[in-house]
Amino acid sequence: MTSPVSADLRAFLHEYVKSVEQAEILLLLFRTSPREWNAVKVGRELRVDAVSAARRLSDLHLGGLLSARSDEDALLYWYEGAYDPLVRELSVELSERPTAVISAIYAPAPAANEVRAFADAFRIRAKGDST
């Protein structure tokens, strides 16, 4: 069985990365920083649909992972290094343990009440206290 990724990377993925395609786009811009990319070039490089690439780029930009500027005929995106340690960890983990990263990307985030219920299971209670 594949061991899970670190808690920090798991939290990063749940917050910012919703698909493997989005992770691949983030890593492309990370590896080629400070180069600017538009959706068509990202699509060609990764062999994905340009419309899908545009959505993923926009999502990464809205999440604060990428910077963007408007060019004459396209939006240009680039990675500036806001999350270097975690993106570097993602790069290493995805190349060495892709199954663990993919599982972490698509795993549901634990609901707050599930986390609370788990924590409460270990709470020490006074005799007769049922709460």
Read off the CATH number of the domain in which 114 is found.
Answer: 1.10.10.10
pTM above 0.85, yes or no: no
C-alpha angle 96/103/93, rounded to 5°? 20
pLDDT category at 5 given cuts 50, 70, 90 is confident
State how far the alpha carbon of 5 is from the alpha carbons of 59, 81, 83, 92, 109, in Å. Answer: 23, 21, 17, 11, 14
Q: Does residue 122 have a pLDDT over 90?
A: no
Helix (H, G, I), strand (E, B) or coil at 33: coil
Q: Does any domain span residue 57?
A: yes
Q: How far apart are CA 84 and CA 104, in angstroms?
A: 19
Q: How far apart are CA 11 and CA 18, in angstroms?
A: 12
Domain count along the chain = 1
Q: Which domain holds residue 79?
A: 7-120
Q: Does any domain span residue 48?
A: yes
pLDDT tens, position by position, 83-120: 889 999 999 999 999 999 999 999 887 655 555 555 56
Q: Does any domain span residue 126?
A: no
